[in-house]
Structure 1
Amino acid sequence: MEEGLCQNSIPGSGFVDKTRIVEAKPLRSLAPVLPKSLQSSFSGRYPSVFPPFVLFDEPQESQPSPAPMPAPLRSYRNPLDEEEAPHGSNGETSSPMEGLNGNSVDNSQKRAVPPMHSCKYSQKRSKKTKESQFDLSPSVGGISVATREDGDRELVNLVLMTYDSLRRRLCQLEDAKELNTTMAIKRADLRASNAMTVKAFRTNTRRRVGAVPGVEIGDIFFLRMEMCLVGLHGQSMSGIDYMTIKDELQEEPVALSIVSSGVYDNDAEDNDVLIYTGQGENFNKKDKHVIDQKLQRGNLALDRSSRRHNEVRVIRGLRDAANKNAKIYVYDGLYKIQDSWIERGKSGGGVFKYKFVRLPGQSSAFAVWKSVQKWKMSSSTSSRTGIILADLSTGVESIPVSLVNEVDNEKGPSFFTYFHSLRDPKPFSLAQSSYGCNCNKTCVPGDLSCSCIQRNEGDFPYTANGVLVSRKPLVHECGPLCKCFPNCKNRVSQTGLKHQMEVFKTKDRGWGLRSLDPIRAGTFICEYAGEVIDIAKVNKNRGYDDEYVFDTSRIYDTFKWNYEPSLLEEISSNVSSEDYDIPSPLIISSKKFGNVARYMNHSCSPNVFWQPVLYAENNQSFLHIAFFALRHIPPMTELTYDYGCSGHADGSSAPKGRKKCSCGSSKCRGSFG
């Protein structure tokens, strides 16, 4: 009898005797298919710029003996044709692939774009042999061999920020047509992950059951590769990640993590329950007949985990409201499989179903998303507890800014006039022949005849979807004097709020700011609006006390956000300095006039940073302070930035007037201001 289910093996009652199902061990990964010309000529080093796609392991069986690492593949084998069939029921691989900037890629491109785990290597190689192929040095980019196996929060953030910085840079080059797209790897996300593969720039490579060090419940990911790089989910396409474990009696596969696509998996009424559909097509397109899913590979691992009651990491896939063709993944914590059964799928074939139940005592993640969706869909404010005002901006912002207090009875912050930008700004005198560009309709990346691009050192500062590529000494945006259209991509900081913001009462730090929407790293958040204060007034009165002041002359901790040139060796890098170059100090007070930025609290480990932006109006240039996301920010997470410290003329910090910091960060300096 064929392995798996018989076509007519599903009783009408829904009861299935699992002892009648023939159990199948996970298939071994297929050996690579090498052209004859390479079988004898390979010298042990990668002849091309990028290495083969072997960053993440396939689920492994036992490793009885080491085997040499074969040469890199020149003929990529599509995994959809091999052992990992599309998820006909959970939709993870049958949906369009994640593309550049998180957009979808047409299925016709799948064979031209080799997925990360498409190159099949023999799994009999030893761990030592495998490590030696990637360990170019004992410590690469600050990541030692030990920390690659077991990371922490700081290292996870470093890996994710580094990966996204490479992806943004590659997107920038591709937008400007400066990237060689004739190579096999055309997508920026894959090229970025390959660049990190060369340097072994990853963490949590040791496969494990349970929590992953440094990855927190509620963390969000815009690409599957991000989860792979930090060890949360080791499969770049498959929805089930598993490994083979041994005990005294036997060895068998167990599930480590699953990704719920959110398309075919049933939405249970309880947010802590997930009904997950097994993997495998249940309709044979070639022979045009209904087939049943088989109890093998991921399905077999889930069945064994159901018996063992081991913890399984669950990642929920949700549609990105800003991009209908993309998904956002949220880590929802640890679950256990409480029950499993077989039922008929939409095509008529038998599919496996698994009931996952969330372990109690964990912080909320997916439940927060569902609550936010409910609030957004509700036309009235009564569905939200603690709401004071539906729109704090009183119509100034195109997206309402709600005011919420769920802590005490305070009815709101002190009165101020909502203002969207700077009031009475002071012009800056710059040495430039003309103000504004002469571009037709919109500025085009790579067009060096555009004067605004010239001022940005020849680079377009934003990607096609409006994400800041790199921190720069000064970003030059197009302004009202430019001939390009108002919807030009080089006017990001002038377009107002793009996310639904909420001013809320914190438990111990007054009022704060958070977003109801997820925010991607590099995304514009808001400008710091308010009155520009004359620096002479501040110098005259050092006792000037205003808790709503932003001062560019303060001393700020340095940090690296831009991409690392050594990770993109094939590209002639032109990385600008991350040290700001401001013509003269800018001091802004939002005490009387301001916007949502006045509510962002300080943190010594912030998730937001500020960037000076300059654009011309009325034949004069004005400096503005724009805030961007430092890393991916989940919904309902407080937005914070570093307030810096006031300093003396000799560059030393001045302790007088500082405020005690209660940010709670492990890197807390103890004071700020």
Structure 2
Amino acid sequence: MQQAMLTNKDEKVLKALERTRQLDIPDEKTMPVLMKLLEEAGGNWSYIKLDNYTALVDAIYSVEDENKQSEGSSNGSSIQVVQKQPQLSNGDRKRKYKSRIADITKGSESVKIPLVDDVGSEAVPKFTYIPHNIVYQSAYLHVSLARISDEDCCANCKGNCLSADFPCTCARETSGEYAYTKEGLLKEKFLDTCLKMKKEPDSFPKVYCKDCPLERDHDKGTYGKCDGHLIRKFIKECWRKCGCDMQCGNRVVQRGIRCQLQVYFTQEGKGWGLRTLQDLPKGTFICEYIGEILTNTELYDRNVRSSSERHTYPVTLDADWGSEKDLKDEEALCLDATICGNVARFINHRCEDANMIDIPIEIETPDRHYYHIAFFTLRDVKAMDELTWVSTMIKLP
């Protein structure tokens, strides 16, 4: 399509221009971006019109950000905040397109993840973006290749383990079958079982701590009765001691975020949220829950000091708590993304209709004191839908 044809004869284009004019975006900036989006979408307007042309507006601001970065910025940061005061078409009332961050990850992920807020009712939370979990202070995390036995790796594999005639050693955690399909999706049967464990926890086996960290009275130093911890289903991914390469189909989580995501301020009163900018099939890996690795005692102390400032929910790594007679405090671990974290800190919780679930992932270490938490879609998710987490809220220590 030529630009003149789009402007003068296409009613859809005129409606798109009406929206961008409300934001004081000149037509000459809109048209090249709109043409590019249409080309990439094969002429399909559905994605472009979603959520009042959010995709188009985001793309225009991204181009502005990239142009500013190419010219050089004073601090060399990949984050650019664009302030707008657009004139609305229904009178003199003005609104601000409050903030637009081109890449909240600051280049630390393989894809850019923008942040937008056209509601303008809350400042961007202050936190440090990290792509991998980090130890806070006292947490005991022993990662060593020497600790990984032949039974815990597939040293003789080559290339892609999923292409072999038979599953390798790393598939034993999932009953001798890989949890992933060749397309990189989580298998439906495994996913459905994990969801059932979330919704019907009393129907599945539990382990019980002698002295449960969650039931500790920190003032008295005593312990209450353990409510039990689910024996959760794990996925074991191949790692450095395995013979396969990084493109192996059993290394989905450790390859990081691949989806087009966006942090945005919701209009439903839930604050910040995370949504997808593309259609996602059931079983798609979204991201890990990344944060600081704390002991249970450190988490308690942090909550006491800053209970009024909490923006995120901690995740307890309790899958192995009941298997040991005496659990040391430095081995009772949790993840907290309040101060340091990734985009998962913006995910909102839903009790019934969430579209994601968290799955434990074993990668670096065969013990269960530490493991990864990965989010996968529970069903097909459409572009611009919010990504929400079905989660049983943990009891804060």
With normalisation by structure 1, the TM-score equals 0.36
What aligned pairs does 1:113-262 form with structure 2 within 5 A after superposition?
none
Shift of 1:399: 1.4
What aligned pairs does 1:303-342 form with structure 2 within 5 A after superposition?
none
Structure 1 residue 487 corresponds to structure 2 residue 247: yes
Quick one: structure 1 residues 535 and 517, their matched pair in 2 at CA, closer, same or farther if it must change by over 3 Å? same
Q: Which residue of structure 2 lines up, in the alignment, with residue 91 of structure 1?
A: none
Q: Which residue of structure 2 lines up, in the alignment, with residue 550 of structure 1?
A: 314
Given candidates 34, 53, 57, the residue that maps to 1:371 is 53
Residues 559-600 of structure 1: CA deviation (Å, up to 9, x unaligned): xxxxxxxxxxxxxxxxxxxxxxx2236510111210000000
Residues 292-331 of structure 1: CA deviation (Å, up to 9, x unaligned): xxxxxxxxxxxxxxxxxxxxxxxxxx99979x9xx99x9x
What aligned pairs does 1:272-291 form with structure 2 within 5 A after superposition?
none
Q: Which residue of structure 1 lines up, in the alignment, with residue 292 of structure 2?
A: 531
Q: Which residue of structure 2 lines up, in the alignment, with residue 462 of structure 1?
A: 180
Corresponding residue SS for 2:11: coil
Corresponding residue SS for 1:549: coil
Indicate the structure whose relative CO is greater, using CA pairs within 8 Å and at least 6 residues apart.
2
The residue type equivalent to 2:56 in the other structure is K
Shift of 1:447: 4.0
Gaps of 5+ in 2: 1-8, 16-36, 66-81, 85-96, 195-232, 322-331
Quick one: structure 1 residues 530 and 539, their matched pair in 2 at CA, closer, same or farther if it must change by over 3 Å? closer
Residues 423-475 of structure 1: CA deviation (Å, up to 9, x unaligned): 12735999964442121122135644611123321112111221111236000
Quick one: structure 1 residues 541 and 512, their matched pair in 2 at CA, closer, same or farther if it must change by over 3 Å? closer
The residue type equivalent to 2:183 in the other structure is N
Contact 1:506-1:512 within 8 A present in 2 as well: yes
Q: Which residue of structure 1 lines up, in the alignment, with residue 372 of structure 2?
A: 624
Q: Which residue of structure 1 lines up, in the alignment, with residue 109 of structure 2?
A: 397
The residue type equivalent to 1:636 in the other structure is M
Q: Which residue of structure 2 lines up, in the alignment, with residue 421 of structure 1?
A: 132
The residue type equivalent to 1:460 in the other structure is Y
Given candidates 509, 516, 520, the residue that maps to 2:270 is 509
Q: Which residue of structure 2 lines up, in the alignment, with residue 444 of structure 1?
A: 162
Quick one: structure 1 residues 403 and 538, their matched pair in 2 at CA, closer, same or farther if it must change by over 3 Å? closer
Contact 1:397-1:496 within 8 A present in 2 as well: yes
Contact 1:530-1:595 within 8 A present in 2 as well: yes
Shift of 1:386: 4.2
Q: Which residue of structure 2 lines up, in the alignment, with residue 639 of structure 1?
A: 387
Quick one: structure 1 residues 476 and 553, their matched pair in 2 at CA, closer, same or farther if it must change by over 3 Å? closer
Question: How many angstroms apart in 2 are the aligned matches of 1:490 and 1:596?
Answer: 23
Contact 2:316-2:394 within 8 A present in 1 as well: no
Shift of 1:542: 8.2
Shift of 1:520: 1.6
Contact 2:359-2:376 within 8 A present in 1 as well: yes
Contact 1:608-1:627 within 8 A present in 2 as well: yes
Given candidates 361, 380, 395, the residue that maps to 2:64 is 380
Q: Which residue of structure 2 lines up, in the alignment, with residue 184 of structure 1?
A: none
Q: Which residue of structure 1 lines up, in the alignment, with residue 345 of structure 2?
A: 598
* Identity level (%): 29
Shift of 1:519: 1.7
Q: Which residue of structure 2 lines up, in the alignment, with residue 269 of structure 1?
A: 11
Shift of 1:639: 1.3
Corresponding residue SS for 1:371: helix
Corresponding residue SS for 2:171: helix
Contact 1:387-1:402 within 8 A present in 2 as well: no
Residues 481-507 of structure 1: CA deviation (Å, up to 9, x unaligned): 212111111111111221222211123
Question: How many angstroms apart in 1 are the aligned matches of 2:83 and 2:284?
Answer: 29
Corresponding residue SS for 1:458: coil
Contact 1:447-1:453 within 8 A present in 2 as well: no
Quick one: structure 1 residues 376 and 551, their matched pair in 2 at CA, closer, same or farther if it must change by over 3 Å? closer
Shift of 1:269: 3.4
Residues 385-426 of structure 1: CA deviation (Å, up to 9, x unaligned): 44421111111112112121111254411x211111211273
Q: Which residue of structure 1 lines up, in the alignment, with residue 328 of structure 2?
A: none
Question: How many angstroms apart in 2 are the aligned matches of 1:602 and 1:375?
Answer: 28
Contact 1:448-1:454 within 8 A present in 2 as well: no
Q: Which residue of structure 2 lines up, in the alignment, with residue 497 of structure 1?
A: 257
Question: How many angstroms apart in 1 are the aligned matches of 2:178 and 2:245?
Answer: 16
Contact 2:357-2:391 within 8 A present in 1 as well: no
Contact 1:428-1:623 within 8 A present in 2 as well: no
The residue type equivalent to 1:530 in the other structure is G
Corresponding residue SS for 1:374: helix
The residue type equivalent to 1:501 in the other structure is L
The residue type equivalent to 1:511 in the other structure is W
Quick one: structure 1 residues 553 and 320, their matched pair in 2 at CA, closer, same or farther if it must change by over 3 Å? farther
Question: How many angstroms apart in 2 are the aligned matches of 1:482 and 1:596?
Answer: 29
Quick one: structure 1 residues 489 and 431, their matched pair in 2 at CA, closer, same or farther if it must change by over 3 Å? closer
Q: Which residue of structure 2 lines up, in the alignment, with residue 412 of structure 1?
A: 124
Shift of 1:552: 3.7
Shift of 1:646: 3.6
Question: How many angstroms apart in 2 are the aligned matches of 1:370 and 1:482?
Answer: 48
Report the structure, 1 or 2, having the larger helix content. Answer: 2
Q: Which residue of structure 2 lines up, in the alignment, with residue 203 of structure 1?
A: none
Report the structure, 1 or 2, having the larger strand content. Answer: 1
Shift of 1:540: 8.1
Question: How many angstroms apart in 2 are the aligned matches of 1:373 and 1:517?
Answer: 10
Quick one: structure 1 residues 521 and 375, their matched pair in 2 at CA, closer, same or farther if it must change by over 3 Å? farther
Quick one: structure 1 residues 420 and 542, their matched pair in 2 at CA, closer, same or farther if it must change by over 3 Å? closer
With normalisation by structure 2, the TM-score equals 0.58
RMSD: 4.0
**475-484 or 536-545: bigger deviation:** 536-545
Corresponding residue SS for 2:53: helix
Corresponding residue SS for 1:606: coil
Question: How many angstroms apart in 1 are the aligned matches of 2:239 and 2:361?
Answer: 11
The residue type equivalent to 1:514 in the other structure is R
Shift of 1:548: 2.2
Corresponding residue SS for 1:455: helix
Quick one: structure 1 residues 319 and 411, their matched pair in 2 at CA, closer, same or farther if it must change by over 3 Å? same
Quick one: structure 1 residues 501 and 542, their matched pair in 2 at CA, closer, same or farther if it must change by over 3 Å? closer
Corresponding residue SS for 1:616: coil
Residues 172-213 of structure 1: CA deviation (Å, up to 9, x unaligned): xxxxxxxxxxxxxxxxxxxxxxxxxxxxxxxxxxxxxxxxxx
Question: How many angstroms apart in 2 are the aligned matches of 1:386 and 1:537?
Answer: 36
How many residue pairs match? The answer is 273
